[in-house]
Amino acid sequence: MSEKQNLIKEPDYGTFEEHNEASMGIQALEAPRHPWTPSKTPPIAFVIVFLTLFFLALFTLYNEAVFAGRKTAIVIDAGSSHSHFTLFTWTDESDIKSIMHCTVQQGISTLDDYDVKNHLETCLLNISRARGLWPSSTRIFLGATAGMRHLSPATADSLMTAVRSSLQDSDFDFRDEGDAAILSGSKEGLYDWITINFLSGVNGENMGVMDMGGASCQLSYECTPTEGNCSSNTMDIYFYNKFRTIFTKSEPCYGINTAHKRYLVDLISKGFYKNKSFSKEIKDPCISYPTHFKKSYLEDNQCTRLMISDSSFDESYSKLSSDFTFSFITANSTSECTTNSLFKDCIFDNCFSDYPERPYIIDEYIGEASLYWEFYKILGGKTSFSKLEEHIREQCQRQKESKNHPSDCFKINFIHKLLKDGYKFDQNDDLRFADEFRDISASWSLGFLLAKHEYFRSILNDNPA
């Protein structure tokens, strides 16, 4: 064989390929190949790598074009039962968008200091992996709500130190201690109001906002001091070229989870006073199937402490172990489901406040969070006040046929009581319940961003001189 033939001889790729070529009878018909061209068809792995790199480059170029000139920021809503991360992006205040969300179950307030970093990293790493979408200068903010407000100052401070350290070590731009803070109930309500009224626009409707989380609820609306409908729970802000007075009030023990704990403790105390002992089985007219709760779950020093209690109850209750389990069983009829003990017949230290008469300049009230998920969704969107009690009775009756959501009857009765007897809404009020508003989550997160980020200082100052 000549030297030239040796140079163009096809490399040996193993018996499997040789066997197949021979069986096809085409080996002698192949045209000569260059030495660096080992096969007529590129290996599939090469094709996959090439296409992956091609589309990655295309994706990067596309995102560079889309996000060129855009600003980005992450806001973390550190609630009592979970932490929710939202990534916002904008070129100016007219086109702000939320483009990524991530949720970690369990509230920071329930963690030990050394668990905080892992808790936050769950979502921070997910967002970091998509860093091609936005610049490295992405700001990050965290607001903690009622779960943290319920802790002792020393415990809360220690957890917030761990939070700030974790954010400082992240890939994002954490600048100031105030960028991670425990929000007061009034501030939380204010940022709710800012979110909705910012999204409705400078010439939009005048919206009031109701918000309910796991541990508290808030009501906020614009009021006019000269008309006497503001009371003392107000904050002055500069918003859209105008100084405004916002009524904002928080009820610290009227979130959906803390209210349920209070309701159960009320049933336990009534059973004790009746029988002079604790029963492991307690009738609950608000449930469709039996439920079970440990004493440790029900203990909340701020929210479940009875206003009037006798020494025999206190002594007997304190002797129960934290693992003692109370079993709640169904009653004969859900028609007896009532939450009066949380309102006008309140038996706890921390009861619902009196509210001033609301102004009639409010076009509409928006109900967010649990008011949407635990009321509007359960009732299937039926929220007309004139037929509301009828819808609630129907839903509670249907609930008896389902074991998936045994506490739904309590939730809708409690929220209805809150709206009617707490906030004193009636059929004359225009209520709307929303999970999103203009494609952005209906929550305080956007309002918090507008107040914290210097870019928006021209349209909002939540602490004017």
Neighbours of 301 (CB within 10 A): 9
Determine which helix (DSSP H) or strand (DSSP E) holds 311, and give its type and residue range.
Answer: helix 311-319
- Cα–Cα distance between 189 and 171 in angstroms, integer? 30
Burial degree of 95 (CB within 10 A; 0-12, 13-18, 19+): exposed
Whether 22 has a binding-site annotation, put simply, is: no
- Cα–Cα distance between 250 and 217 in angstroms, integer? 6
Contact yes or no for 286/413 (Cβ under 8 A): yes
Q: Which residues have CB under 8 Å from 270's CB, separation 6+? A: none
Contact yes or no for 171/135 (Cβ under 8 A): no
Amino acid letter, residue 219: L
Kindly name the residue from 17, 188, 251, 299 that is annotated as catalytic: 188
Whether 286 has a binding-site annotation, put simply, is: no
Whether 128 has a binding-site annotation, put simply, is: no
Neighbours of 374 (CB within 10 A): 20
Q: φ, ψ for residue 127 (rounded to 5)?
A: -70, -40
Whether 214 has a binding-site annotation, put simply, is: yes
Q: CA dist 325 to 13, 176, 297, Å? A: 70, 45, 10
Tell me whether residue 374 is one of the annotated catalytic residues: no
Whether 123 has a binding-site annotation, put simply, is: no
Q: What are 423's two structure tokens?
A: 């906030």
Binding residues for ATP: 214-218
Which residues participate in catalysis according to the annotation?
188
